[in-house]
Amino acid sequence: MARPIRVEFENACYHVMARGNERKPIFFSDNDRHLFLKTLAEAIEKFDLSLHIYCLMPNHYHLAVRTPQANLSKAMGWLQTTFTIRMNRRHKRIGHLFQGRYKAHLVEENEYAQQLVRYIHLNPVRPKDKTAVIAKEKREYFSKYSWSSHHFYAGNRPAPAWLNMEWLSYWSAQKKKAHQKYREEMDHFFGKKTESPWDGLKAGLVLGSDSLFDKVKSFISQKEGADEIRWTQGQTKNSRIMVLQRYLKKEHDDRLKIWLRVVLGGESKIDVAKSYGYKDGSTITHLLARLDQVQKKDKSIKQQIEQWKENISSFKS
């Protein structure tokens, strides 16, 4: 399995998530949760991180962190290794605590980050079926759940020094009003479905605008690792497919549709033939040959095909 792509630059902001090994618990008691937060606070100071939100679940955790020094891998490596060592000592156990490497998504600090706050804080009460509503009966459990940054956003408790509360301003520039609006909004979700921010995740990496995604693509394209190259090629292929789909949707001439699918789309002649009810690919071969002759007489068709070729060639393979 290819390793997750890591994109690190100064002041990048990430949603970070890691699960327990074999999806088993990573916390066995509240003392373990306190130990994780203590270790997290040390990581924040040691690596100059800025932590915006967190949520601890029985077998995984969520964080949203900014990295002024572009050092997410070092920071998360230290956090998970140090916590594992401390847990192993405490519980006289050996082996891995976490399941492989953590996941990290780049997050744009605007409405995308605000959506992430809601989603992560609701983690303890959101049903496994993502299409189901959050039960109203879960309200009390949510109000008492201690292991997330929700209570600091709600204004129920003073935030610790290691938690950056800048994102509270998404609800209001006035602190008291922001707490109130946040509480009202979170209460509104009970008895309703919640939209997942991951529905808008771009290429498995970016929760943000096209400009942030373009920045990430540019960053990755400059890397020479095999995984980065595969990712870049995959994005190029996806972009070509999307453009071809637009052309096919607008085109009414079956001859040109077939040309698009075979010549620019790379589909096999046999598959295209079957979709049009032909017995084999030889019919497509003859059709494309006739289209070549038509181009020589019909300038509009020739210009259209040349324009498609030029547009598609702009996506480097």
pLDDT in tens, 216-249: 877 776 664 443 334 334 444 444 556 677 778 8
> For 160-182, what is each residue's pLDDT tens digit?
999 999 999 999 999 999 999 99
Name residue 273's amino acid.
A
192, 307: one domain: no
Q: How far apart are CA 133 and CA 122, in angstroms?
A: 12
Can you tell me the distance from the alpha carbon of 19 to that of 82, in angstroms, rounded to the nearest whole number? 16
Does residue 2 belong to any structural domain of this protein?
no
Angle at 138 between CA 183 and CA 199, to 5 degrees: 75
| E-only strand ranges, the chain | 12-19, 50-57, 60-67, 103-107, 206-207
**What pLDDT digit, counting tens, does each position of 108-147 carry?**
998 999 999 999 999 999 988 877 899 999 999 999 999 9
Q: Where is the domain boundary, 152, 186, 220?
A: 220
Judge if 142 and 237 occupy the same domain.
no
Residue 157 lies in a domain: yes
How many residues make up the chain in this entry? Answer: 317
Q: Do 251 and 145 fall within a single domain? A: no
What is the reported pTM? 0.71
Residue 68 and residue 103 in one domain: yes
Backbone CA torsion sign across 119, 201, 167, 57: positive
**Could you tell me if 112 and 85 lie in one domain?**
yes
What distances in angstroms separate CA 164 from CA 34, 49, 286, one per listed residue? 18, 10, 66
CATH number of the domain that residue 84 is part of? 3.30.70.1290
The residue among 169, 197, 220 that closes a domain is: 220
Q: Do 155 and 294 belong to one domain?
A: no
Residue 254 lies in a domain: yes
293 and 156 assigned to the same domain: no
For residues 232 and 186, state if they share a domain: no
In total, how many domains does the chain have?
A: 2
Domain co-membership, 38 together with 131: yes
Please state, in angstroms and rounded to a whole number, the distance separating the CA atoms of residues 215 and 317. 19
**Beta-sheet strands, E only, within 33-125:** 50-57, 60-67, 103-107
Structural domain including 72 reads 12-220
Q: Is 15 left (phi over 0), alpha (psi -120 to 50) or beta?
A: beta
CA distance 77 to 37: 16
Tokens matching residue 204:
């498995």
- Between residues 5 and 267, the one the model is more confident about: 267
Residue where a domain terminates, one of 220, 250, 274: 220
d(CA 290, CA 304): 16
pLDDT in tens, 9-67: 889 999 999 999 988 999 999 999 999 999 999 999 999 999 999 999 999 999 999 99
Say if residue 209 is in the same domain as residue 235.
Answer: no
User: To 10 degrees, the CA torsion angle through 236, 241, 244, 249?
Assistant: -150
For the chain, the C-alpha Rg in angstroms (whole number) is 26
